[in-house]
C-alpha cells in the first residue's frame, strides 16, 4: 500500500529542482554578473580578482558580497 509520503515524493523532487534552479540562476548568475560589473567599476578593476565567469574560484565572502551588491542594485532599479 502506498504511504502518503510516496504520493508527494515526485512533487518534492520537482520543488527541490525549481528551488535549485531559482537559486542558481537568480542569485548566483544574475546577482554575480551585476555585482561584478559594479565592483569592477568602483575599484577600477581590482576587486573581485576573478573573471566574470569564474564565480566558483572566488572566495566565499567575496562571492556573497558581490552577489548581494548585484541583487541590491537590481532591486533598487526596479
Domain-by-domain residue ranges, the chain? 19-77
Residue 1 is predicted with a pLDDT of 53
Q: Which grid cell sits at 33? A: 554578473
20-27: long-range contacts at Cβ-Cβ below 8 A with a sequence spacing of 24 or more? 27/67, 27/71
- CA of residue 59 relative to chain centroid, distance: 14
Cα dist. 24→1, 17, 18, 29, 44 in Å? 37, 10, 10, 6, 27
pLDDT in tens, 18-77: 988 888 888 889 999 999 999 999 999 999 999 999 999 999 999 999 999 999 999 999
Cα(26)–Cα(16) distance, rounded to whole angstroms?
A: 15
Residue 45 is predicted with a pLDDT of 93
Amino acid at each position: 500500500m502506498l504511504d502518503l509520503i510516496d504520493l508527494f515524493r515526485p512533487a518534492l523532487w520537482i520543488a527541490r529542482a525549481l528551488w535549485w534552479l531559482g537559486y542558481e540562476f537568480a542569485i548566483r548568475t544574475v546577482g554575480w554578473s551585476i555585482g561584478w560589473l559594479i565592483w569592477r567599476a568602483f575599484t577600477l578593476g581590482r576587486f573581485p580578482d576573478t573573471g566574470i565567469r569564474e564565480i566558483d574560484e572566488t572566495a566565499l565572502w567575496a562571492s556573497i558580497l558581490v552577489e548581494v551588491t548585484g541583487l541590491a542594485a537590481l532591486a533598487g532599479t526596479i
